[in-house]
Amino acid sequence: MNTHTCQTPLKKTFVGQFIFLILWAIPTLALAQNTSNPNLHYSLSQAIDFALEQNVAVENARLDEQAADLKVREITSIGLPQISASYGVSDNFIIQKVIVPDGSLFNPEIPKGQPLALQFQPRYGGNAAVSVRQLLFDGNYLIGLKAVKTYRILAVKNSEMTRTQVVEQVKKAYYGALVSFERLRSLDAALQRINQSLIELQTLNREGFAEQLDVDRLRVQQNNLRSQREKVAALCDISLNLLKFQMGYPVAQPIELSDSLSVLVNLHALPLESGFDILKRPEMQLLMLQQTGLNFEIKSLKSGYMPSLALQAQRGALAGSNTFSQVRDPGGSWFAYGSVGLGVNWNVFDSFNRKYKIQQKKIELMKSQHLTDQFRQAAWMEEAHAITQLRNQIRSLEVQEDNLRLSRQVLSVTQIKYREGVGSGLEVTAAESALTEAESNYFGAVYDWLMARVDLEKARGSLLEKH
C-alpha cells in the first residue's frame, strides 16, 4: 500500500515533466525551422532576390527610408496645434519681503523716514495652466514642407543606389563562383583523362611498347594537375563564402548554384550600340536631388526675412494661502485667469547674417551643378569604355572557344595516332597540356566577359531593371 502511494506521485511528476519538455520543444523547433533556410539551390536571380531582402546594407537603406518618413511627419507636426500643460505648488518657507523707505505711510506708529519690510506673498502658492499654440503663417515652415518631400525622395534614391551596388556585387560573386566550379569540373575531367592515359601507358611500358620517359612525363603532368585542382578547389570555397557574404546568407550553411555557365554565356544578350538615359543612373538622380535641396535651403533662408504669425490661448489658475490645505484643494484659494492673442515674430535686422548664409548656399549650388556636369561626362565615357571592353572580351572569348575546340581535336587525333603506333607519347603529353591551358584561358575569358557585362549594365543603370 505504501509502495503504491509512493509510485503514483512519481509517475505524475514524470508525465508532467515530459509534457513540459514537449511544450518547450515545439516553439524551439519552430524557431529552428524559421531561422534555417530550406532552399539550398540558388539561381542568379534567386541569389539577387535573397540579397535584396537579407543584405545588411539594403536593410539599413530600408531603415533610412523609414527614418525619412518619420522626418516628414516630424516637420509636418510643427504646423499642427501645440498643446502644453503645467502644474506646480511651492512652499515659500522664507518669504522675500518688499522694503518701503518710509514705513509711516503704512503704519503711523513708525517714525517718519524709517524703512518698513512688508510681505505681499503667501507662504504656499500654486499655478496650473494649459496653453494652445497654432502656427498661422511661417514662410520657413511652408518651404520646409516642400523640402522634406525631397528629403524623402533622396532616401529612396539612396536606397536604390545601395540595391544597385548589392546587385552588382552579387552578380560578380555568383559569376566568379560559377566559373570556379566549371574550372574545377574541367580539371576533374582532365585528371580523369590523364589517369586513364597513364594506365594505358604503363601497360604499354610493361609490354615494351612505350618508354619509361613517357610515363614519367605523364606523371609530372598528373601531379601538376592535382596541385592546380587543389588551388581551384580552395578558390571555389572562397568564391562561395564571398557570394554568401554579399547575399547576407548564413556563412555556415551550405549553398549550391543552380545556374549553368553554358546558359549564361550568351554573346548577344546586351546591345552594344552607344546611347542610354543618364537619368537611370542613381548617382545622377542623387546629384539633381541635391541641387533641389539646396534651392529649397536658399528659399528657406530668404523666407526668414518675412514675419511669422501664431495664435495662442491660455487658461489657468493661481493659488495662494498661508495654509497648505487651501493650495492642495482644487476648491480652495484658486483664482482663474485666461488669455488669447496673436503673436508676430519678425527678425527686422540680423547684421546681414542671413545674407551671407544665402551666398554660401549659392556657392554650394554652383559646385553641385559643376559636379553634375562632370558626372554626366564621366557617365558617357564610362559607358563607352564598358562597350569597348565588352566587345574586346567577346572577341577574346570567341578566340578562346576556337582554341578550345582545336585543342580537343588535336588531343583526340594525337591519342588515335599514339594508339595506332604512329605517334609519340611526348605528342600526347603536349596535346594534353595544350588542352588544359586552353581550358584555363577559356574560363578566364568567360570570367572577364561576364565582368564586362556587369560593368556595362552598371554604366547604363540597368542592374535593377529585372529586380
Does residue 108 form part of some domain? no
How much of the chain exceeds pLDDT 90, in percent? 44
- Looking at the DSSP bridge assignments, the partners of residue 317 are 128, 336
Q: Cell digits for 273?
A: 550600340
Does residue 379 form part of some domain? yes
Output the CA angle 98-102-104, nearest 5 degrees: 110
pLDDT for residue 57: 92
Residues of the chain with pLDDT under 70: 1-39, 265-275, 466-467
Does residue 112 form part of some domain? no
Going by C-beta distance under 8 Å and a sequence separation of 6 or more, which residues neighbour residue 279?
285
Q: 124: exposed, middle or buried (C-beta count within 10 Å: 0-12, 13-18, 19+)?
A: buried
pLDDT for residue 271: 65
The domain that contains 167 carries what CATH number? 1.20.1600.10
DSSP string, 27-79: HHHHHHHHHS-S--EE-HHHHHHHHHHH-HHHHHHHHHHHHHHHHHHHHHHTT
Does residue 438 form part of some domain? yes
Report the C-alpha gap between 114 and 116 in whole angstroms.
Answer: 7
Does residue 444 form part of some domain? yes
Domain residue limits at 364: 41-78+138-307+352-460
Does residue 89 form part of some domain? no
Instruction: Please count the structural domains in the chain.
Output: 1
